[in-house]
């Protein structure tokens, strides 16, 4: 170990911590330090059991999040709960899959804490759209294929309105990592194609990235739109669209994974 300083988790504060895509080895040292000191861990469904095993056995666990895609707690309930626990003088660790600020609503929780005058720390995590891809041998960028990677949510915002200009993304000529997109793949694909993306564009469906159950299906945009018309995966799934998908073929023979 070098000169890594373990942070002190002060009572009455909240840590918003990213748990990464699932493999506990992808947690940061700060996340592990927090898990060891926390009095209460408020976690969502995406956080794997393997990660929760690193918590202190004395820590109380509270589930807050979505089950089967349906919210079981409203966002304001969760924020109020974090505030109440902190006001009890507890060390509150809010644990989220991936990175707390990437489609994780960590921003809303941080804002609620700030408004309530509760001090908090953000511990970033490895987001699925980058670390999850790496685990299946798909580099986020490569000089031969792309200058950008778009991280985009396929699921509309809370008010149900999809504000993404998918046609423009189809015209962009750069790969997409689509979170929460499988169930809307047909509609999203049609709009990407309307924007100019060719139907034969390579596509990968990556499920449970970095977990023992990790799975990848490689296909094309057109075939996936047909095949996954009614798909509602219960496991977390990323849809990767673009030439970066093919880069894994040269790596697979030697890639140790997961
Ligand atoms: N904050 C998280 C994303 C939360 S949104 C992050 O930064 O990764 C939830 C979506 O993330 C899932 O529907 C899925 O699209 C993606 N996701 C999270 N973990 C994943 C995993 N292990 N494998 C594949 N996709 C994952």
**pLDDT, tens digit, for every residue of 21-40?**
999 999 999 999 999 999 99
- Residue 166: φ, ψ to 5°: -65, -30
CB 178 within 8 A of CB 236: no
**Atom nearest to 96 CA in ligand 1:** 1
Q: Is the pLDDT assigned to residue 140 strictly greater than 70?
A: yes
For 239-254, write each residue's pLDDT tens digit: 999 999 999 999 999 9
161 falls in which pLDDT band (50, 70, 90)?
A: confident
Atom 19 of ligand 1 has which residue's CA nearest to it?
21
Cα dist from 50 to 26, 145, 236, whole Å: 11, 35, 16
The pLDDT assigned to 45 comes to: 87
Ligand 1 and 236: CB distance under 6 A: yes
In percent, how much of the chain has pLDDT > 90? 83
Comma-separated ranges of CATH 3.30.950.10 domains in the chain: 129-254
Which homologous superfamily is 4-126 in? Answer: Tetrapyrrole methylase, N-terminal domain (3.40.1010.10)
CA dist 60 and 55 (Å) reads: 9
- The Cα-based distances of 100 to 3, 94, 244 in angstroms read 26, 9, 25
Task: Determine whether 64 is exposed, middle or buried from the number of CB atoms within 10 Å of its CB (0-12, 13-18, 19+).
Answer: buried
Q: Has residue 93 got a pLDDT over 70?
A: yes
Instruction: Name 127's Cβ contacts closer than 8 Å, sequence gap at least 6.
Output: 18, 21, 98, 99, 102, 151
Instruction: Compute the average pLDDT of residues 63-79.
Output: 75
Q: How far is the CA of 17 from the centre of ligand 1 (A)?
A: 15
> Which residues, in sequence order, are bridge partners of residue 220?
202
- In this predicted structure, what is the pLDDT of residue 67? 58
- How many whole angstroms separate alpha carbon 110 and alpha carbon 93? 12
Q: Is 128:118 a contact under the CB 8 Å cutoff?
A: no
Establish whether residue 96 lines the binding site of ligand 1, counting it when its CB lies within 6 angstroms of any ligand atom. Answer: yes
Task: Report DSSP state, residue 22.
Answer: S
pLDDT of 83 reads: 98
Can you name the CATH fold of 129-254?
A: 3.30.950
With bands split at pLDDT 50, 70 and 90, how would you rate the model's confidence at 198?
A: very high
pLDDT band at 220; cut points 50, 70, 90: very high
Pick from 96, 98, 153, 207 the residue to mutate for probing ligand 1's pocket: most ligand atoms within 8 Å of its CB.
98
Using 50, 70 and 90 to split pLDDT, how confident is the model at 160?
Answer: confident
Ligand 1 binding pocket includes 20 (Cβ within 6 Å):
no
Q: What is the DSSP letter of 229?
A: T
Q: How far is the CA of 66 from the centre of ligand 1 (A)?
A: 13
Categorize the per-residue pLDDT at 69 as very low, low, confident or very high, splitting at 50, 70 and 90.
Answer: low
pLDDT in tens, 176-191: 999 999 999 999 999 9
* Catalytic residue selected from 36, 39, 162, 180: 180
Which residue among the candidates 23, 44, 99, 208 is catalytic per the annotation? 44
Of ligand 1's atoms, which has the minimum distance to the CA of residue 21?
22
The larger pLDDT score, comparing residue 171 to residue 155, is at 171
Q: Rounded to the nearest 10 degrees, what angle do helices 75-87 and 106-115 cross at? A: 50
Q: Quickly state the pLDDT bin for 200 (edges 50, 70, 90).
A: very high
Share of the chain above pLDDT 70, in %: 94
Residues of the chain with CATH 3.40.1010.10: 4-126
Check whether 138 has a pLDDT greater than 90.
Answer: yes
């Amino acid at each position: 170990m070098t000169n890594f300083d373990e942070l002190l988790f002060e009572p009455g504060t909240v840590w918003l911590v990213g748990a990464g895509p699932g493999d506990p080895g992808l947690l940061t040292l700060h996340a592990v330090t927090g898990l060891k000191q926390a009095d209460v861990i408020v976690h969502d469904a995406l956080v794997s059991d393997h990660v929760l095993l690193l918590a202190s056995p004395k820590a109380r666990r509270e589930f807050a999040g979505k089950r089967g895609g349906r919210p079981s707690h409203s966002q304001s309930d969760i924020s109020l709960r974090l505030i109440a626990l902190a006001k009890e003088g507890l060390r509150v660790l809010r644990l989220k899959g991936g990175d707390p600020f990437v489609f994780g609503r960590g921003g809303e929780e941080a804002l609620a804490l700030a408004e309530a005058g509760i001090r908090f720390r953000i511990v970033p995590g490895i987001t699925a759209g980058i670390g999850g891809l790496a685990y299946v041998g798909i580099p986020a960028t490569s000089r031969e294929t792309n200058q950008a990677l778009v991280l985009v949510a396929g699921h509309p915002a809370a008010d149900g309105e999809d504000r993404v200009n998918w046609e423009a993304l189809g015209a962009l000529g750069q790969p997409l990592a689509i979170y929460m997109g499988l169930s809307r793949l047909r509609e999203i694909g049609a709009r990407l194609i309307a924007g100019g993306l060719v139907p034969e564009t390579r596509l990968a469906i990556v499920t449970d990235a970095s977990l023992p159950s990790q799975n990848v299906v490689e296909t094309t945009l057109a075939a996936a739109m047909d095949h996954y018309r009614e798909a509602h995966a219960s496991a977390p799934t990323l849809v990767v669209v673009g030439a970066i998908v093919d880069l894994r073929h040269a790596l697979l023979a030697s890639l140790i994974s997961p």
